Each structure stands twice: as structure tokens, then as C-alpha cells.
Amino acid sequence: MSATFSSIPPLESVFNLNEFEVIASKTLPDQVYAYYACSADDEVSYRQNHHSFHKIYFRPKILVDVTDIDLTTEMFGRKFKFPFYVSATALCGLGNPEGGEVSIVKACGNEEFCIPQMISTFSSNPLEDIVAAKNNAAQEQWFQLYVNGDRTITKELILKAEKLGVNALFVTVDAAQPGNRERDLRFKFSNNDKKKGPNVMKQGQTANGTSGALSKLIDTALTWKDIENFKTFTNLPIVLKGVQRVDDVIKAAEIGCSGVVLSNHGGRQLDFSVPPVEVLAEVMPVLRSRGLDKKFNVFIDGGIRRGTDVLKALCLGASGVGIASPFLYANSLYGTEGVEKAFDLLIKELILSMRLLGVTSISQLNPDLLDLRGLYDRSLPSNYPFHHHDTTYETNARY
């Protein structure tokens, strides 16, 4: 253990999503935190993903009755209580061996929240168990697919997910090979009962780093033809996860995909890839000009830690916002209660920020509420931390 705390602090002492990672960095086993937190090369894209939201400012409206705030939104043409979802993360069982992804399912199904959950191909729990753990008929589960070199395995996995009742298929398209994640590479990965990924992995595999073990199960030959082929045998909405260019977004819409996730894999793949919020600002005007914005879902993930970050993405036109690491750390530290606490913190921030912005519903959010003049400034503050968690939160937190 690398912990400096005598024990994990009480959940009520956590005041924002950033603090879950601060605690995790000091309490999770070194190998586990290294895998969860690692990014590619010098981790510039990781830091810029978050910092890019700091370069967008609000233009609030005044003298608006903001007594009642409505956070409901539409994704895939269906109504959801909140405009964010739990994005997929592999091997939740590394941090929470007893619960894994199932602990997140229980939090998502809480009647108060009913948050969509994206399930990784490389989940610790079997897909069947994750689906069976649903405790709310209204909660949605989406399956994140890593395409296997053996297309028969991939087809069987898609059909199994569809038969089990998942609501959408998110095909990962930015991971032909794992990025150079040096922090993770310092550790050997060994699979055991509590840490395995039963959907695709066999016990006994070892490699340099957890990412290295998973990389053997990903195909480098994935192309647009595969995406079109998937449409011939599944009725699930297909979303491409990891799109980073405007022309690729347009092509996805034109071939009949239901949406895209603008993402650079949390900065874990190609370092110096563009922050997703910049791509969002570029692509939405193009989609609107072509009449492709109404029924086509544009999601975004990467660097989103505050309710204000969510609102900025929604103002730019995002259909919904994916958040992964904070919920992963909350689950690792506190299980279901931790994930519920993270949901509650984020929702309270959204309500407060919408009131102060002078809007009462998600439908009122638009680019006019933003100042984007600094968005494309590539500089980082001189005191910006190299490591993942900002020391500001460590200093201010009462642990």
C-alpha cells in the first residue's frame, strides 16, 4: 500500500469529485492506482482534457426566475433524469474486488438517480452478472465493445449483449494499440479470480502492465467496413467511441451510426491529441449546417470533473456527458455509497450552476451563454501539476 492516511477518510468529508482521486492516490495499492491513473507519454493530453474546460467562461443571464430547475434530457430519443452517464472503465474489480462493476450498477439503479452505465468489454464481473444486478427497470446499460481480431468472438459478444438487454453498443475506435502508459508499465499484470476480466480473458495471462495484457485482445485492423458489418446483424444503436476529427463525425452520421463519443481515451492513447471539448466546439456548427444534429447523439468524455464542465459541454451542443475516473475511484474507496455520493455532488453542482447561469432547463443551454475566446490557447499554467491530482484539493481537504 502507498497509503499515508491511517484509514480512508469518512465519505462525508468528500466535497467534490476531484477529492476521490486524491484519496485513491494515497490508499489504493500502487499497481491498481498506476493502472487506473496512467496516461500516455508525458500525460499532456490528460491534463489538457481537464484544463480546456478552464478556458471556457460563462455569460450568465440575470433577473430570471430560477426556482425550479429541470435536469432531464434526451439521449437516443429517450428521456433521462440527468445529462451524464457512467463511462466504461476496465477492471473495476482491481479497486473493489468484492463488488466490481456490480457496485456501480446498484448506484446507477437507485431511484433517485437512474444513471446510464456503460459496461466495458474488459469488466471484472461477467456481463451476465452486471446485467442481472439491475434493480430498476428504467435504468439503461450500454456496452462498450473492444473489437477482437477474431470477428466470430466479436459477433458472439455483440449478440450476447443484445440478448441480455443492453440498450446501445459503443464501439471503441481509438485503441488500435494501447498508448505508452509508463506508470502502468512499471508493474507486471497477473490475472486472478478477483481481478480477471471474464468476458474475454483467460486466467494466467501476464504482460508488462495491465494495459499490455488487455492489448492482446484488441484488433489493429478495425475499419469502417467492420462498423457497417455490425449493423447487418444487430439492432442496437451503434455509437463510435473515441472520435477526434470533424470529418469522422460526419462520416459516422452519414453511414447511419446513432452517435459518437468525442474522446481521446482520457489521454491514455496518443499524447497531444486534441481535447474533446475543442472538437465539440468545432463539430456542432457543421452538424447543424448539414441538418445532422437532431437525431444524431454527440457525447463527450475526458477531463470532466465539475457541474460547470458538464454545463459547458451541454451549451456547446453535447447530447450527454460521460464521466469515468471519479466514479471508478468512488467505487474503489466506498463502493455503491461512494458512487451515489459522487452522483449527488455532481447533481447539486449542476443545479447551483444552472441557477447562477440564469437557466432552468437543459434545453435552454446554448453557445450564447459561453465565452470561447480562450479555448484554443494551448498553454498550461506554470504551476499546473504534472501528476493527476491537483495539489490544491490535497491542501484544502481535511483528511
| Closest listed residue to residue 390, CA positions, set 50, 118, 12, 42 | 50
Give the residues across from 189 on adjacent strands: 207
89 is in an annotated binding site: yes
268 is in an annotated binding site: yes
Give the angle 338-89-275 at the CA atoms, nearest 5°: 105
- Cα separation of 394 and 399, whole Å? 9
Q: Which residues contact 373 (CB under 8 A, 6 or more apart)?
A: none
88 is in an annotated binding site: yes
120 is in an annotated binding site: yes
151 is in an annotated binding site: no
Q: Which residues contact 155 (CB under 8 A, 6 or more apart)?
A: 233
| Closest listed residue to residue 241, CA positions, set 269, 200, 210 | 269
219 is in an annotated binding site: no
304 is in an annotated binding site: yes
263 is in an annotated binding site: yes
301 is in an annotated binding site: yes
Residue 69 Cα distances to 139, 170, 311, angstroms: 22, 30, 13
Q: Using DSSP, how many helices (H) and how many strands (E) does the chain show?
A: 15, 14
355 is in an annotated binding site: no
265 is in an annotated binding site: yes
Cell 445532422 belongs to residue = 292
26 is in an annotated binding site: no
Q: Which residues contact 94 (CB under 8 A, 6 or more apart)?
A: 32, 35, 36, 124, 195, 210, 332
Q: Which of 50, 51, 265, 388 is catalytic?
A: 265
146 is in an annotated binding site: yes
149 is in an annotated binding site: no
| Residue-wise DSSP of 259-282 | EEEE--GGGTSSTTPPPHHHHHHH
- Annotation says 54 is catalytic: no
Cell 466514479 belongs to residue = 327
288 is in an annotated binding site: no
303 is in an annotated binding site: yes
Give the angle 74-299-237 at the CA atoms, nearest 5°: 70
Count of beta carbons in the 10 Å neighbourhood of residue 349? 19
**Residue list for the binding site:** 35, 88-90, 120, 144, 146, 172, 181, 241, 263, 265, 268, 301-305
**Residue list for the binding site for glyoxylate:** 35, 146, 181, 263, 265, 268
The catalytic residue positions are: 265
**Residue list for the binding site for FMN:** 88-90, 120, 144, 172, 241, 301-305
